[in-house]
Amino acid sequence: MKYFLVVAICIEGLCQNFVTTEPQFDSYQACENFSHQAVRHIQRSLPDSSGSTYCLTQQQILDLAEDLIQQDPAILQDLDTKI
């Protein structure tokens, strides 16, 4: 199974989500290992930031997007979807 890295980061109250455009990891563990490295780098570079990382399959991303759209259809106006 392939995994995407999803990063949610907030800096001074402004939050943004980033998702790799292609699945980058062949295992959940490989994605988790990379995400820990990414968190350490972000914390050093942006010490006042906060956020989370997630390792998701394509189906999990699609399910999450569907849930978000059902909660707020206007969200589609802000998305540049390439899934």
Residues 6+ apart with CB under 8 A from 61: 4, 6, 19, 83
> Quick one: pLDDT at residue 81?
47
CA distance 56 to 4: 5
pTM for the model:
0.72
Instruction: State pLDDT tens for residues 16-40.
Output: 888 877 778 999 999 999 999 988 9
Tell me the pLDDT of the chain averaged across its residues.
84
Model confidence band, residue 62 (pLDDT cutoffs 50, 70, 90): confident
